[in-house]
Amino acid sequence: MRPRPNRVPLYRNFSSKDDLILDFLRRREELWTVGWLQHESSRRGAFPQDRLLAIFDLFGEWFDKPDFEDCAFVTTMLEISDQEHPLRRASVASLARIRGYLRGLAEAAGVADPELFARQWHVLMKGLSMAAHEGDAGAAAAARELGVLLMRSHGITVS
């Protein structure tokens, strides 16, 4: 019989499981969204359209990692149906900040309706994540192709 883990040290820092998860989501956003997605896409692309397309390259690399897990924000949101639950609201807010980054790239690229573009691009990203979770090894390349079409439909020149 395995011994039960000692949870006392955990609850010295967090008053509840929800507080622990909220802190995890905050840290995940700091490390994943800002520290990895935004930083790496900016590093890999000199122009906004290059940064947008770099997202698909990054996702492809992420999916190839042996410890790949789906997006923590989407997973948390899907687990909690109560629209007012703090964990769901935190996840929705984190996803909105990702769209804000995309909107900023769309604005920099000269898109007429950057909010619409960001929503469409984000839908593509979330769909890509689900396809990869399903085991589709070519999902990132397929999403990149769709991304190019989306960019062109919004008047972004793609080389």
Tens of pLDDT, residue by residue over 19-67, are: 888 998 999 999 989 999 999 999 999 999 999 999 999 999 988 888 8
Q: Provide mean pLDDT across the span 124-135.
A: 91
Q: How far apart are CA 111 and CA 123, in angstroms?
A: 17
5 within a domain of the structure (yes/no): no
Q: What is the pTM of this model?
A: 0.88
The pLDDT score that the predictor gives to residue 6 is 61
- φ, ψ (nearest 5 deg) of residue 8: -60, -50
The pLDDT score that the predictor gives to residue 4 is 67
Contacts of 18 (CB under 8 A, 6+ apart): 86, 87
107 within a domain of the structure (yes/no): yes
1 within a domain of the structure (yes/no): no
Q: How far apart are CA 6 and CA 40, in angstroms?
A: 38
Greatest Cα pair distance, the chain, in angstroms, is 63
The pLDDT score that the predictor gives to residue 44 is 96
Name the residue among 113, 108, 94, 93 with its Cα closest to residue 50.
108
The pLDDT score that the predictor gives to residue 17 is 87
Q: Is the pLDDT of residue 5 over 80?
A: no
8 within a domain of the structure (yes/no): no
Q: Is the pLDDT of residue 109 over 90?
A: yes
| pLDDT, greater one: 84 or 17 | 84
CATH value at residue 138: 1.10.357.10
In the chain, the number of structural domains is 1
9 within a domain of the structure (yes/no): no
71 within a domain of the structure (yes/no): yes
Work out the mean pLDDT of the chain and round it to a whole number: 91
Give the residue numbers spanning the domain of 33: 16-153
129 within a domain of the structure (yes/no): yes
DSSP state of 37: I
